[in-house]
C-alpha cells in the first residue's frame, strides 16, 4: 500500500465513522473538509472503497430514499450505494488512531490525523504533536544550514523564496508549541467532585485546551471541517 492510499483509507474510515455516506458525499467531504484531497478523483476513491469492502471494514447498502431508487430505475441507472462502517472497520480505525510513528508526522498524514484529533486519545495527540514538532525542527535546521552555505550564490528572488519557506516552518512550530502547551494544560486540569476531591479529566476526545485567536475560533481542527494546520509546503529545501 502506498502512503497516499493509506492516508485516503484512514480518512474514509474516519468520515464513515461519523455517518454512512455514498461515494459523492464522501468525495465532497474529502474535498471540502480535508484539503489534502482536493486533487483526487473518483478513479482514486472507488478502488479504495472496494478494498475496504473486501477487507470487511465497510459494507455496501442501497440508498435509503425510495424516490432515489425510483428515479435511478427510470433513468436506467443504478441506485446510489451507501457505504457503512462495520464493527471490524471501527476497530481498525481506532487502531490506526493509536499509531504515533514517524509516518504520522509527515505533511499529508499529519493533516489527516489532525482532522480526527477529536476522536483521538489525549496522550496519542500529544505524541503526534511532539513528533511533528521534532520533525519540523529538524527540517528547519537543515534549511538554515543550506541557506548559510548557498546564500552568496543565490539571487535576491531565490533567497526570498528560501526565507519564505523557513518562515512557514517557523510559524507551524510556534503553532505546535501552543497546541502542546494547551494539551498539557488540559491534561493537568482537575475537576472538583461532589466530595471536594480532584478528578482527572476524561482523556478521550477532550479538546478543551485548544488555543484561540482573536476571532474566537480555535487554531486546530478537532473534527473534519475545522481549521487546518499551517501549510509547511512553502519550504523549498528538504
Lookup: cell for 201 = 479529566
- 218 three-class SS: strand
User: Which 8-state DSSP code applies to residue 216?
Assistant: S
Indicate whether 224 pLDDT > 80.
no
Indicate whether 5 pLDDT > 60.
yes
Q: Which of 151, 125, 139 is nearest to 204 (CA)?
A: 125
**Angstrom distance (rounded) from CA 169 to CA 197:** 43
Question: For the chain, how many helices (H) and strands (E)?
Answer: 8, 5
**From 33-37, 73-77, 144-148, 167-171, the region with the lowest mean pLDDT:** 73-77
Residue 227's pLDDT band (cuts 50, 70, 90): very low
Note the helical H segments in 151-202: 156-188
- 190 three-class SS: strand
Predicted confidence (pLDDT) per residue in 174-195, tens digit? 999 999 999 998 866 544 544 5
Q: What pLDDT, on a 0 to 100 scale, did the predictor assign at position 145?
A: 93
Indicate whether 237 pLDDT > 90.
no
Q: What pLDDT, on a 0 to 100 scale, did the predictor assign at position 222?
A: 40
Write the burial class of residue 192 (CB in 10 Å: 0-12 exposed, 13-18 middle, 19+ buried).
exposed
pTM more than 0.95:
no
Predicted confidence (pLDDT) per residue in 8-60, tens digit? 999 999 999 999 999 989 988 888 777 667 666 678 889 999 999 999 999 99
Percent of the chain with pLDDT over 90: 50
Percent of the chain with pLDDT over 70: 66
The residue with greater pLDDT, 157 or 221, is 157
**From 83-87, 173-177, 196-200, the region with the lowest mean pLDDT:** 196-200
Indicate whether 235 pLDDT > 50.
no
Indicate whether 216 pLDDT > 70.
no
Amino acid at each position: 500500500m502506498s502512503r497516499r492510499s493509506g492516508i485516503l483509507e484512514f480518512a474514509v474510515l474516519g468520515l464513515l465513522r461519523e455517518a454512512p455516506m455514498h461515494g459523492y458525499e464522501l468525495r465532497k467531504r474529502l474535498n471540502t473538509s480535508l484539503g489534502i484531497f482536493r486533487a483526487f478523483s473518483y478513479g482514486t476513491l472507488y478502488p479504495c472503497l472496494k478494498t475496504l469492502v473486501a477487507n470487511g471494514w465497510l459494507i455496501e447498502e442501497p440508498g435509503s430514499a425510495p424516490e432515489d431508487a425510483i428515479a435511478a430505475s427510470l433513468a436506467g441507472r443504478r441506485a446510489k450505494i451507501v457505504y457503512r462502517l462495520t464493527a471490524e472497520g471501527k476497530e481498525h480505525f481506532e487502531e490506526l488512531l493509536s499509531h504515533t510513528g514517524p509516518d504520522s508526522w509527515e505533511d499529508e498524514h499529519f493533516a489527516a490525523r489532525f482532522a480526527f484529533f477529536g476522536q483521538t486519545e489525549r496522550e496519542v495527540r500529544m505524541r503526534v504533536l511532539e513528533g511533528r514538532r521534532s520533525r519540523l525542527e529538524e527540517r528547519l535546521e537543515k534549511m538554515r544550514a543550506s541557506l548559510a552555505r548557498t546564500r552568496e550564490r543565490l539571487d535576491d528572488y531565490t533567497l526570498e523564496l528560501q526565507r519564505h519557506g523557513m518562515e512557514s516552518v517557523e510559524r507551524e512550530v510556534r503553532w505546535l508549541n501552543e497546541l502542546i502547551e494547551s494539551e498539557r494544560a488540559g491534561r493537568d486540569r482537575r475537576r472538583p467532585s461532589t466530595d471536594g476531591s480532584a478528578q482527572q479529566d476524561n482523556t478521550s476526545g477532550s479538546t478543551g485546551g485548544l488555543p484561540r485567536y482573536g476571532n474566537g475560533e480555535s487554531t486546530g481542527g478537532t473534527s473534519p471541517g475545522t481549521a487546518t494546520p499551517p501549510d509547511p509546503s512553502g519550504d523549498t529545501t528538504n
